[in-house]
Amino acid sequence: MAPLRETVERRFGSAKLAAAGEIDVAALTRFSPELPQRLPAEEKTRLLQRADELEPWLQGPFLLGDELVVGGAWRNDLRWLNLDPEVPASLGGVRVLDVGSNAGYDPFMFSLREPDYVLACEPFAFIEQARFLESIYRTGVDLQEIGWQQLDPERHGRFELVHCHGVLYHELDPFELLVRLHEMTAPGGTLLLGSIMLADPSLAELARFVPHAYNGDRTWWWVPGPLAVSSMLDAAGFELRGRFGQAGGPPGEFETINGYFRAVRPS
């Protein structure tokens, strides 16, 4: 995790474990029905030590049992207030692909809806956080240390539901990402694409290149406007079915928004 700490701390500060009193533990999603109500002191110490070794945590909060919570720089549970109504309550018979899984919050959420299979792709060291959590939750999510560039429909199959959040603006070639997502989506399948975008309506059809960094994050490259994203989805072969979940983006050198697109690969 060391190579990631400098970037994360520069942007967010240190992402430490959230104290139980800072989060309503009772309201958190339980990713396993077998999470213990009480943890022995030695087990709690072990989990805390391992979570500390895996800092920095961006995603969260994750309940580990008892009132032990891993909190991150992001509140993924709040993002799911918008995403939840867009995902079927049951995913039986559905194969799910999550691209850019980080610590695994989204694939763990999908797993609760009992899909046939969930493939979670994360090329960076955050995959170790997801593996730590999976050792506790035992959801059956297939965690693979690969990026979208390694996805292959011949090897991995196609998916009825593809989810990709927070990846597009980190790519030097965002259109190539969308083309690959189209290849991985089964005919008639759905793509849920979440991204940071330009907030200025006068720039909605454009994309802005970020040559150095955005708010200290050197991994930002292209930030498109909403209409630019719609046009790229269309050019990649998707049919746009709507937008949802728009909210303010992170502060930085220009104003941004965050939001989702729902698109379908035609049958």
pLDDT tens sequence across 143-191: 999 999 999 999 999 999 999 999 999 999 999 999 999 999 999 999 9
- Tell me the domains of the chain and their CATH numbers: 2-70 (no CATH), 76-264 (3.40.50.150)
pLDDT computed for residue 23 by the predictor: 83
Inform me whether the pLDDT recorded for 199 exceeds 70: yes
Would you say the C-alpha torsion 99, 171, 54, 194 has a positive or negative sign? negative
pLDDT reported for residue 267: 93
This prediction has a pTM of 0.94
Does residue 6 carry a pLDDT above 80? no
**Range 93-97 average pLDDT:** 98
**Average pLDDT value over all residues in the chain:** 93
| Predicted confidence band of residue 14 (pLDDT cuts 50, 70, 90) | low
Residue 12, pLDDT above cutoff 60: no
- For residue 66, the Cα-to-chain-centroid distance in whole angstroms is 25
* Res. 51 pLDDT band, cuts 50 70 90: very high
Which among 49, 50, 55, 52 has a CA at the least distance from the CA of 13? Answer: 55
* Confidence (pLDDT) at 1: 64
Looking at residues 12-26, what average pLDDT do you find? 62
For residue 11, pLDDT over 70 is answered with no
Q: Is 147 exposed, middle or buried (0-12, 13-18, 19+ CB in 10 A)?
A: middle
Q: Residue 56: pLDDT above 50? A: yes
205-233 pLDDT tens trace: 999 999 999 998 999 999 999 999 999 99
pLDDT > 90? residue 250: yes
Pairing of strands 185-198, 256-264: antiparallel
> What percent of the chain stands above pLDDT 90?
88
**Residue 15 confidence (pLDDT):** 46
pLDDT beyond 60 at 16: no
Using a pLDDT cut of 70, give the percent of the chain over it: 92
pLDDT at residue 22, as a whole number:
72
Candidate from 14-18, 57-61, 136-140 with smallest mean pLDDT: 14-18
